[in-house]
Structures are given as C-alpha cells and as structure tokens.
Amino acid sequence: MLSISLVALPVVVLGFTASIVSGFEPFDGQYVHPSANNSIFEWWYSQAVSTATPDEGNPPANAIVTFNQGQEFDTGETGLPEYYLTVSGSFPNGSVFSIEVPTPSGDIQTYGPKVVGTWGTSGSFATAANLSTYTVFINASEYGVSGTLMILSNAPHHYGCNSSTDPYASSALSALPPGTTLSPAEEILYHQFGWANTIPGGSAIVDLVINGDPLVFAGHGYHDGNFGTQPLNVFVDSWYWLSAQVGPYDVVMSLQLPTNATRELTTGYLARSGVILQNQCSILGTRTEDVSTLTPYGAVWDAANNVTVPQGFIVEYNLDDGQQYSFNLTGLGQNPNAIIYRRWIGTASGGAVGEAQYEGTTVFEWLNPGMNTYTPA
C-alpha cells in the first residue's frame, strides 16, 4: 500500500500559502491538501441518471454522490465539517432528496494507480487501476442513506485542456498577447484550480436506500474531481457546467467567468464510441476552429427565488477539421435550486450536423456566486 506523499510547494493566493500534492499521479488521486487551517478544497463527484422513461413530467431518476474535503464555498459560517459526503437526487415520481453526512476523516490511499477513498465509517469509493470503474459504498443509515453506486467507463479520461499533461487551464492563455496581465481571480482560475475527468461517460448501476425507500436503476454514469486553493466564490463570478450521454456521444463542457473579469474560459470534450473527437480549452472568442460553445435558451420562472432561469442549453462543437456537432439539453427538474447554485436533470438530443440524431440524458449546473440575472435571448 502506498500513501499520498505531500510536499509543501509555496502557492501565494491572496496572502496565504497552500500545500500542493507533488505530481499528477494517480489520475483520480489527491491533488491538494485541504485542512482546517487553509481554504483549500477537493472533491470526488459521481452521477447516475436512469435511462428508463420517468413518470409524466418528471426528470429521470438520478443519484449524485460527492466526497468532500474542505468547503468549496465561503459562506462565513463557522463549525462546518472539514470532511463530508453528500447524496442527492430524485425518484421516478419526482420526489427529491438531499443528504449531507459529516465524517471525522476523509482519507485517500493509493495502490499503484488504484485509488481508494475512505470517509470515516460512512462511505468509501474505489477507482480501478485502469480507470474502468468507479464504485461508491455508503453506510450511513443514521442519516437516511445506504447502498452502492457503480460506474463503468466507456470514454477515455482527460483533463480540461488535454488528455494527460496537467489538470490546469493555463494553456488557454497562449492566445493572449505577450505581457497580458491577469486579474487575481484569473490567476487562481488558470493556475490553481484543477479538474480531472476520470469517467466522462459510461453505464451506471444504482442500488440505494434513501430514508427507507429503495432507489434502484441502471442508466448513464459520470465521474470527475475538482480542487482549488480558494473557495469558488472568491474567484468565480459565473460557471456553467454540463454533461450528457447521447447515443454514442459523451458530451462534457464548461463556461467560466472569473470574478471582476471579462475573459471567459470554455472547455469542451466530445467522444464518440470511446474515441475522442475534441478535448480543448480556450478563452471565448479567441478562435473559430477546435472550439465549443454553449448557449442558454428558454425561460422558466422560479417562484421560490423570484427569478427567471434557462430551460436548457444548445451545445455546439466545431472541430479542427471543420466537422460540426450540436446537442440540445433540456432541464426537467432541479436539485438544488438555490440562486447561487442550480443543478438540472433532463434529456438531451443531437449528433453530427446533417447526420443521424440521437436521444439521451443530461446533468447541467449553474454556479452563480456573482448573483447574475438571466435574460432570455
């Protein structure tokens, strides 16, 4: 058994020093070292969406499990847990659930390239050495949740800008003129916020008990991890993220606007039948080929928060060979639906422009620390 080896590399972030894990192996392992004495966070996220037809007007049944180290938002509250796991989702009848389980520890161990996470006695996960599977085990009946979630990969892993070089988006800055000065928020976003997408798409098997009710289904699965040296609301003004599985296609994209900045970072990943068609990151508007864009559409009134939100997104890929792909993602339900953070579950359709079109499922999010308002086009 190998344990994570940490070294203190100085990273100056608005006046403090963070500890960074040395190297980027294993891929699904520990990248930073959160503790009660710093503002660092890291999480391991997984989602499963049923491919069965849901009840009338409801989103597909779904389950989302996240293992957390540190707090990704600075709410000003004290006494929040350093280690915790969250389980949320909805049943076929539309009934939603959201459970947080605090734990005394959140440990990552490695066995060569295999990764095992253990959050006290309440939950654990295991990533296979070849990244082919990600399995979650939950034993927190006292909080109303127990069972398993397993994801089997059908798409190659990747970082946001490349397949295996590093988890940061700094390569997108090459499009800027030499000597360009970045804002403090941009420095964090491009150099100190990382993303590792271990399973961009695959099949999922869920067997959970939620507050005494079974949630059992098969469907689409996804797993990734993020880490940062500051809470998201310190450096992110707005962040759209989405994933979809549509026929043979695995779709992953994000659009991020740093705080007090105008340059938006876009990342796009598209694979067909396990073959990567695009894996890029760029600053929005700096190029016309090998680029991906997302456009919100529609208007849904959120009476609980007294705001209008998008109904869905049009996602478009323009490959470096000129081939174009387009997907329509439609939200059918939200959980959570807070102004600062929304997650939709829904359906997706699309494919190569002018060729066969397919149907599938989607999960997409809007992190909105800047409290931006949505205005339909």
Give pLDDT tens digits for 305-354: 999 999 999 999 999 999 999 999 999 999 999 999 999 999 999 999 99
**Alpha-carbon gap, residue 353 to 325, rounded angstroms:** 5
b/e burial code for range 171-198 (CB count within 10 A of at least 16 → b): bbbeeeeeeeebebbbbbbbbbbbbbbb
Residue 199 has pLDDT above 60, yes or no: yes
Q: How far is CA 140 from CA 117, 148, 211, 303, 327, in A?
A: 16, 12, 10, 34, 38
Coil, strand or helix: which one is 29?
A: coil
Q: Which residues contact 227 (CB under 8 A, 6 or more apart)?
A: 31, 32, 40, 41, 42, 43, 167, 193, 194
pLDDT of residue 299: 96
Higher pLDDT, 351 or 23: 351
Name the β-bridge partners of 239.
Answer: 256, 367
**Alpha-carbon gap, residue 83 to 85, rounded angstroms:** 7
pLDDT of residue 146: 98
**Alpha-carbon gap, residue 91 to 216, rounded angstroms:** 9
- Residue given tokens 């090459």 in the structure block: 174
**pLDDT of 101-151, one tens digit each?**
999 999 999 999 999 999 999 999 999 999 999 999 999 999 999 999 999
**pLDDT of 335-346, one tens digit each?**
999 999 999 999
∠167-168-170 over CA atoms, to 5°?
150
Query: Which is nearest to 27 in space by CA: 180, 129, 179, 162?
Result: 129
H or E stretch including 191? helix 184-191
H or E stretch including 67? strand 62-69
For residue 289, name the pLDDT band (cuts at 50, 70, 90). Answer: very high
For residue 15, name the pLDDT band (cuts at 50, 70, 90). Answer: very low
Token pair recorded at residue 160? 């946001």
Coil, strand or helix: which one is 350?
A: strand
Neighbours of 156 (CB within 10 A): 19
Cis peptide before 214 (omega within 30 of 0): no
Residue 55 has pLDDT above 70, yes or no: yes
Residue 274 has pLDDT above 80, yes or no: yes
pLDDT of residue 23: 59
Report the length, in residues, of the chain: 377
pLDDT of residue 4: 25
pLDDT of residue 22: 46
Instruction: State the pTM of this model.
Output: 0.93
Using only C-alpha atoms, the chain has a radius of gyration, in whole angstroms, of 20
**Alpha-carbon gap, residue 151 to 223, rounded angstroms:** 8
- Are 58 and 332 a contacting pair, CB within 8 Å? yes
For residue 3, name the pLDDT band (cuts at 50, 70, 90). Answer: very low
pLDDT of residue 56: 85
Q: Which residues contact 187 (CB under 8 A, 6 or more apart)?
A: none
Query: Which is nearest to 270 in space by CA: 317, 217, 313?
Result: 317
